[in-house]
Structure 1
């Protein structure tokens, strides 16, 4: 059987990385190429398939409609080829990723979907770390992390996973006691629950309600979103948290104190060292996370 002529694998890899990273410069850095060398590889691929994959202007490269179509057609086969090589390699038994995750994101968003990842990549195993200071440990004890941040360190490769609203979450019993539209004096008698790493959420919430001068009876600090939700459900205070957490918890004991949407200063981000995307465990998880839309 005749073997069909295939494009150069290096050209395909240059194309896939440019699309995945969203930057020709970042793709060139990962591959150890100059921007012009990367461009030549992609040009050779365009000439091979007879399609214009990118528009080039002022040293930027934008994916064309045909480029989008080509990526969607090639991506699953590119990954299938990598999996096939892995499955036949005696040197690869397990691909291991050391991942930092905040506990509430892990229980509510990541763990319910990990079965899908395991089916796609049976050799990929993940060591989970829920310890503190995740971002600072990326590249040291962690390969990658999912963090809450106003904006990660610019030296890291980062993908924003969501945008959030800040809500005041309380038990239904406490909400009934406080009333549907509490004033400043009423709220000043309450205890508020605030996450250690998200102090500006409370400030944003007060500003949105025009209650900048609010000084509550007490502010209790937590390092766990799960425990904050339970504390709120037990009537121990008003938890200033992201609305997504209450919605995913689906706890009938909880409700919102005000019907108001406040933009959160913080978002969930996936972060890793730029060079770490060269490592297959990181890249497999990164690409799956983007496609899964967690």
Structure 2
């Protein structure tokens, strides 16, 4: 049999490339940064060439690294599939799911009781991440993401369509006398850093494409945006479902205007992953339940 590189070295390499950060990869693997570097160095020594350009504290994958990850990712998937195939089909089975915190708290957890009732042997390991699609085949089996479009190499299923709302606290809206969209001039607006197009779409639809608030502050957390709005710190431009699912009496929707969002929630996984029981069962339940 041909000699193979250490699996731990390959795992460290794959996670570093996919996560885009040695620090993030070390955290995912629960090892120290020096230990991660040693594993990657062992792989580089094995193949006889560097895989990263190292400058200061940064590690940037080079062309050889990208070629290698394209080659080894399918093989690692096949290993995982082979292990899954010989597992006890009547035993407990587990899904590693990447999910956005707001979707998890508002839509997944409230419906998890039904999933457990239907499939008592299915268990979820939930990983909250804003870029869970980058972890597919590595630390997650499937993910629920929010995006305007999905990489065509992935299997994807759109879970919803949504509208964009302007949301703030009732007290703030009354105090600032926010009666029409142009009243946002001079206010602080919160926009999700991963969904910058929501504010652009909202401004165009209300007929004010050049509307300039006093400040546009970006956050990478939907729950934090809702709380900031509820505290009267400004106006959050975000999905209407987040407003309705929050059921927060402190919040109110400004202006009765329907604006279609360019973003949707999607279920995504690698095509081969649907052959796995846990992924298939969860996917079919999610589509059927329409949560």
- Distance in 2 between residues matched to 1:200 and 1:251, nearest whole Å: 25
The runs of 4+ residues in structure 1 deviating greater than 2 Å are 89-94, 177-184
* CA deviation after TM superposition for structure 1 residue 174, in Å: 1.4
Alignment partner, residue 58 of structure 1:
none
Alignment partner, residue 132 of structure 2:
134
- Distance in 1 between residues matched to 2:88 and 2:95, nearest whole Å: 19
Residue 272 of structure 2 is aligned to residue 269 of structure 1: no
Alignment partner, residue 168 of structure 1:
166
* CA deviation after TM superposition for structure 1 residue 157, in Å: 1.0
- Distance in 2 between residues matched to 1:136 and 1:216, nearest whole Å: 34
* CA deviation after TM superposition for structure 1 residue 183, in Å: 5.6
Residue 265 of structure 2 aligns to a residue whose secondary structure is: strand
Alignment partner, residue 254 of structure 1:
251
Gaps of 5+ in 1: 1-88
1:56-113 per-residue CA deviation (whole Å, 9 max, x = no partner) reads xxxxxxxxxxxxxxxxxxxxxxxxxxxxxxxxx9575321111001111111111111
- Distance in 2 between residues matched to 1:177 and 1:164, nearest whole Å: 29
Alignment partner, residue 151 of structure 1:
149
TM-score by length of 2: 0.68
Alignment partner, residue 32 of structure 1:
none
Residue 194 of structure 1 aligns to a residue whose secondary structure is: strand
- Mark the CA change 1:117 to 1:177 in structure 2 (over 3 Å): closer, same or farther: same
Gaps of 5+ in 2: 1-86
Alignment partner, residue 240 of structure 1:
237
Alignment partner, residue 62 of structure 1:
none
- Distance in 2 between residues matched to 1:260 and 1:180, nearest whole Å: 14
216, 219, 234: which one aligns with 1:219: 216
Residue 268 of structure 1 aligns to a residue whose secondary structure is: strand
Alignment partner, residue 207 of structure 1:
204
- Distance in 2 between residues matched to 1:270 and 1:90, nearest whole Å: 27
* CA deviation after TM superposition for structure 1 residue 180, in Å: 4.6
193, 196, 201: which one aligns with 1:196: 193
1:254-293 per-residue CA deviation (whole Å, 9 max, x = no partner) reads 1111110100000000001110010001011011111111
Aligned length: 205
- Mark the CA change 1:187 to 1:90 in structure 2 (over 3 Å): closer, same or farther: closer
What are the equivalent positions in structure 2 for 1:13-92 lying under 5 Å apart?
A: 92=90
271, 279, 282: which one aligns with 2:279: 282
110, 125, 134: which one aligns with 1:112: 110
Determine which structure has more spread, i.e. the larger CA radius of gyration: 1
Residue 263 of structure 1 aligns to a residue whose secondary structure is: coil
- Distance in 2 between residues matched to 1:214 and 1:177, nearest whole Å: 21
1:177-214 per-residue CA deviation (whole Å, 9 max, x = no partner) reads 23253363x42210001111110000001111111111
- Mark the CA change 1:261 to 1:148 in structure 2 (over 3 Å): closer, same or farther: same
What's the C-alpha RMSD, in Å, of the aligned pairs? 1.5
- Distance in 2 between residues matched to 1:120 and 1:96, nearest whole Å: 15
* CA deviation after TM superposition for structure 1 residue 114, in Å: 0.8
177, 185, 196: which one aligns with 1:179: 177
- Distance in 2 between residues matched to 1:157 and 1:91, nearest whole Å: 24
Residue 262 of structure 1 aligns to a residue whose secondary structure is: coil
